[in-house]
Structure 1
Amino acid sequence: MRALIGLVLVGSMSLAMHAQDAPAGDAPQGGQRQGRRGGFGGGNGVGGTVTAISDTVLNLKSEAGEAYTVDLTANTRLMKDRQPVKTSDIKVGDTVMAMGMQEPGKHEIHAAMVAVMTPEQAAQMKAREKEMRESLGKTLIAGRITKIDDVKITVMRPDNVEQVIVVDENTSFRKGGGGRGMGAGMGMSGGGAASDTPPAGESITLADVKVGESVTGRGALKGGVFVPTTLTIMEPRRPRPDGASAPPPSAQQ
């Protein structure tokens, strides 16, 4: 279920970044980490309490009690109260969400973004996680595509349940678009309610969808089968030499 939590974090952080973006002229000087604008589709996320922080490393403990190392670079975007901040503004005991590329098999993330959460934001994230857990497979779908058979798509969900969904003439397909696409696809708006905003990204067709890709979407059960109204293929982030994650191509257009 940790993967499910990660998906919620990715969507929440992407939405938070777009909500918190400030003009470049408002950024604090002296050590400010300048991040790239754009979505975070395809990355990994973890949330928890800060146990230690330096200019290059943030240590946190997840709600499950697991210790994570978050690597910070000059390209890591740090946000707090809708403003870019420095590492000195993040304190031990703060609740944060960190998002980026995770080292395979390790509790280590090369962070593209770290956001300090208020108690209200943390509560909203938990509510979204609960909503997603209850809605997964009913009004929401997320996971990795394992098989495509005509209009039937088999998805391995984050809770390790394999589900066959069926697309129809009313299903719209998108690719990329970063977190906004995911947030809309998963029915999450800034306030946690379902959003009718069309997902961002490139319009594609069923023929463009491939086995192995990660997908999110919303829809409804029809005759016991999930039929998506929107289906978004999440683009993986491309690693950069400095260890941070570059936005997918569609996010840079």
Structure 2
Amino acid sequence: MAAFLLAVPGAVLAQAGPDGRGDAFAGGQMVRGTVTGVGADRLTVKTEEGDVYQVSVSQNTRVIKDRQPLKIADIKAGDGVGAMGVMDAPTKTLHAVFVAVIDAEQVKKAREGLGKVYITGKVTAIDMDDARVTVMRPDHVSQVIQADEGTSFRRGGRREQAATNASPAAGANAGSESITLADVKVGDLVMGRGAVKNGLFVPVELRVMDASAQGRRRGAFATSAGSTNGDGSESTK
């Protein structure tokens, strides 16, 4: 996520705190994208839509990578970031309280895996007869995914597991509920890992979050600005 970093949802948000919900602080806004410039106290970030933001970093900003503290000087152009803070809209400057960083190689890997080893996006159509769901991915590609007898569906959960992970984090399903394809609605955000079979992506597990809940979690952050450690699986399983 590019703004959504094409799957950063899980990778970035999982680093935000033990419950994976670090973007939920009151009044907060988020910018996700690719670093195009690094200064002494700010980052220039370009979103998937092509918007450019300045992310202002102070001594009180928590900057982490792989759950470890990181100096701003160690961030490089091409890295993916998810920054949370207070937005100054006229200057397109986010005064960050938290910045999570994903290195450029991980971002590249996530982009390459989208639609092949994991899926994330917004549901635009559902074919109950053929058990198929059409998803608009964060890279603006529409993809049809196929559920089969091995696909499980879950709604919610304590944290969104990164799609590119081989297995869910401990407690990843805590607070989630088992659902069926009939419970999935157009407008829901879905994420999950799987594989391509007979030309269609087949998820092993598809985790669902309804659009209204997603909007509350992200505050003012727009959906598309946010995909990838993906379904992350931003990170589902």
TM range (shorter): 0.5 to 0.7
Q: Which runs of 5+ in 2 are unaligned?
A: 25-29, 222-237
* C-alpha separation in 2, matches of 1:45 and 1:62: 8
Does the C-alpha gap of structure 1 residues 161 and 47 become closer, same or farther in structure 2, counting only changes over 3 Å? closer
Residue of structure 2 equivalent to 1:136: 114
SS of 1:195 mapped into structure 2: coil
Cα displacement string for residues 222-243 of structure 1 (whole angstroms, at most 9, x for unaligned residues) = 22111111111244152799x8
Q: Report the AA paired with residue 228 of structure 1.
A: P
Residue of structure 2 equivalent to 1:214: 189
Residue of structure 1 equivalent to 2:224: none
Does the C-alpha gap of structure 1 residues 126 and 2 become closer, same or farther in structure 2, counting only changes over 3 Å? same
* C-alpha separation in 2, matches of 1:140 and 1:148: 19
- Bigger drift between 155-164 and 231-240 goes to 231-240
Q: Write 1 or 2 for the structure with the bigger share of helix.
A: 1
TM-score w.r.t. length of structure 1 = 0.59
Residue of structure 1 equivalent to 2:233: none
* C-alpha separation in 2, matches of 1:52 and 1:140: 36
Q: Report the AA paired with residue 44 of structure 2.
A: K
Does the C-alpha gap of structure 1 residues 12 and 239 become closer, same or farther in structure 2, counting only changes over 3 Å? closer
Does the C-alpha gap of structure 1 residues 105 and 157 become closer, same or farther in structure 2, counting only changes over 3 Å? farther
Higher RCO, 1 or 2 (CA under 8 Å, sep at least 6)?
2
Match of 1:155 among 112, 123, 135: 135
Residue of structure 2 equivalent to 1:7: 7
SS of 1:143 mapped into structure 2: strand
Does the C-alpha gap of structure 1 residues 112 and 11 become closer, same or farther in structure 2, counting only changes over 3 Å? farther
Pairwise CA distance, 1:46? 3.2
TM-score w.r.t. length of structure 2 = 0.63
Calculate percent identity across the aligned residue pairs. 37
Residue of structure 2 equivalent to 1:69: 54
Pairwise CA distance, 1:4? 4.8
Pairwise CA distance, 1:209? 1.7
* RMSD across aligned positions (CA): 4.2
Pairwise CA distance, 1:15? 3.2
Q: Which runs of 5+ in 1 are unaligned?
A: 22-36, 54-58, 189-193, 245-253
Pairwise CA distance, 1:173? 1.7
* C-alpha separation in 2, matches of 1:209 and 1:62: 34
Pairwise CA distance, 1:148? 1.1
Does the C-alpha gap of structure 1 residues 66 and 51 become closer, same or farther in structure 2, counting only changes over 3 Å? farther
Match of 2:205 among 213, 219, 230: 230
